[in-house]
Structure 1
């Protein structure tokens, strides 16, 4: 990926970034808006949708009917999300005070080089969710501090809820069976993290597919990668899955992260096939904990930012990004650490981001309780782990927002929409405007 160094400051970040990608000269006030309500899905997995528990609709889903064939009433997403977010059959561990839906404004444009997807939504909190987990010194050693709100340690009050906001887009070019009708529910299964019948470490260690691809847990996957689509343990061979990928039978997954990609002007690039995988190359973020000592690898450069660490009372009062090229220095274990000192558990780097994983850029800001995120996706990508967007193309897309310090099923999701890049004679939900 070509990296433009334009010396544009990201003032909203509190850091002087030299890697910000120049925004296209787009007058967004003249680009049509599509308003979409995203709702809280709880544990409504692929398996649940096909079961008798799905209020009599299991058979319709099994035969391939679209979700919106039944869920087409105005305001239905709002009502459903507000119901599912509460304690019930699909939410065994509700998060106190969590909203059940989010209204998302979507706009799209493209030129000869890129597609531009603009998203706006109100956050649940009166601050941007740009914090992520930390490493905390307890007086003797460094331990992880802060977890997503669905985690038991947060619900029991042992840890604070700390997690970044995210904006995600799944893209299908028509090659993933049933995605156009049933969307992201193809990827969410029993056995995954925070889902019914969650995996055990022993089950993962004994699974041939996960062992072969060197994974230690269960995440999103597509039904075609299993001999039994409803059983994550029945993985097909690595060779068979490679054939599915070569035929384009995977979903592109773009994720903008308010902590791990925002500060360096990027959105990470991945895909869903037999697991939720990253594209080839390197993401703009990496773990900051040393695998052997558990100490941080980097700390803040006190000469540049005025501190080498922060404390819990400083959280959410400023931006706290640790950027290797900009405000970080190697960790000094003899720097006089005190109990309660915090250093980010992730270190960011624009320069280290490489390959297909570094295709996507993003411009974002938080103001008056609202995120505005513009994802910038190059057209015509030729990588074998990307969906190549092109002028005239039509794509099935699904959107998700992570808000209020949460991850996994705690996000908000949309039904499938269609995105057209100047498609003629085709009715689409989101019609991207061609720029001069």
Structure 2
């Protein structure tokens, strides 16, 4: 799979001005690369880190020690991943063949307008993970087809594993207590999806904080938003949370998605505070399922692409993105649908993306088993839901990679690193001429 011409064109149009580099032409051979080891974390949560099960680490964590103050030996992440990926106390649902360790190559550059973060990693599969779940016609109605590998329906063999690859970055500017020490573990808690004590909709609906923010499940959150940092049920008031946000006590979360953002040369923009939120505005992706009928909203434009749907034998044979402004038309329920016809469960649209949620661009390619992704982040953002990257700034960053048709905690994660724009750090961004 070569770099999407669409993604290159869009990224160049958005940032390729006299004062900004064209990310497609940056000479990355002149930018130092840092290898960041990533490992499979299993169900190692914020609560687990602080429990006696952490075997002495709980006291060090409680004292504010960093993860790497203990796990500092050569190959520590590889050893952790090899242990945690197997069935055991932190992995009740092992995925067959899942690798415990991935090396992530990271490079960083910036100019007067943007920061450019380049990532490279080998995928577990011999194909790019650009597919996402589908809507499949069973002869009577449309139903979701394909789920992440950690889901029981996949592990029981009732559904195939279909999910997009992802690359994520968390950014803290020093205002989130303990992020520099423990990174993304501050956001990972019991009660969340695929974690111990996963919360049902009824229990979530009975929680006053989740009801106030109109959510029916538990997702990433920061301990500062709970009266008991280790219990998701004990949420602070919305006024208290708003104050934490106004003081910058949130973590920025940028996610490049191989299906839901890659198709239009973007990466989504969000943040973690009382929940895993998206930034103000509108994302580049949306549900393609009608809320009442579950039938698709869009189908492929047969006049443009030669087909209105695909079948399972066409999976992973070409790009199956559904983009309303390019290759899609409104769904026609009378188009002669047959059992087995499939249409993507999500559509992707750059035109729909708006406001702070549309800040980030990205270009990506997959070749010889390796993704290369360049995130393009504007400098000096003043939005209330963004961390502002600036020349001379130093930031705490954590990375995650999802591949092998998996989501939630089935990813690979890093310990915290520092990112410096023109100043010394673990990853030092080079100023472009």
Tell me if both proteins adopt one fold, taking TM over 0.5 as the criterion. yes
Unaligned runs of 5+ in 1: 1-9
Structure 2 gap segments, 5+ residues each: 17-21
Hey, what's the Cα distance between the residues in 2 that align with 1:115 and 1:243? 28
1:17–1:264 Cα contact (<8 Å) kept = no
Return the alpha-carbon distance in structure 1 between the equivalents of residues 332 and 384 of structure 2: 41
8 Å Cα contact 1:205/1:216 also seen in 2: yes
Partner of 2:426: 429
| Partner Cα separation in structure 2 for residue 233 and residue 280 of structure 1 | 25
* 1:12 Cα deviation after fit: 3.8
Conserved 8 A contact 1:148-1:161: yes
Instruction: Show the counterpart of 1:255.
Output: 255
Query: Is the CA contact (8 Å cut-off) linking 2:7 and 2:363 kept in structure 1?
Result: no
Give the aligned partner of residue 226 of structure 2: 226
Tell me if the contact between 1:225 and 1:274 (Cα under 8 Å) persists in the aligned partners: yes
Describe the SS at the equivalent of 2:282. Answer: coil
What are the Cα deviations for residues 103-128 of structure 1, in whole angstroms up to 9, with x where unaligned?
10000000000000000000000000
* Corresponding position of 2:328: 328
Q: TM-score, normalising length from structure 1?
A: 0.96
Against the structure 1 CA distance between its residues 216 and 381, is the aligned structure 2 distance closer, same or farther, given a 3 Å change threshold? same
Task: Check conservation: 1:20, 1:264, Cα contact below 8 A.
Answer: no
> How far did residue 59 of structure 1 move?
1.0
User: Which residue of structure 1 lines up, in the alignment, with residue 215 of structure 2?
Assistant: 215
Q: Secondary structure at the match of 1:320?
A: coil
- 1:46 maps to 46
Matched residue, 1:390: 390
Cα separation, 2, equivalents of 1:76 and 1:386: 32
Which residue does the alignment assign to 2:174? 174
Q: Distance in 2 between matches of 1:148 and 1:186?
A: 24
Residue aligning to 1:284: 284
- Aligned-CA RMSD value: 1.2
Q: How does 1:23-422 map to 2 (within 5 A)?
A: 23-24=22-23, 25-422=25-422
Query: How far 1:55 sits from its partner (Å)?
Result: 1.6
How far apart are the structure 2 equivalents of 1:384 and 1:329? 36
Instruction: Figure out how many residues of one structure are paired with residues of the other and give that number.
Output: 424
Is the Cα–Cα contact under 8 Å of residues 2 and 365 in structure 2 kept in the other structure? no
Separation in structure 1 between the aligned mates of residue 346 and residue 4 of structure 2, nearest angstrom:
16
CA distance in 2 between partners of 1:11 and 1:126 (Å):
14
Cα separation, 2, equivalents of 1:74 and 1:11: 35
TM normalised by structure 2 equals 0.96
SS of 2:215's partner is coil
CA distance in 2, matches of 1:309, 1:55: 53
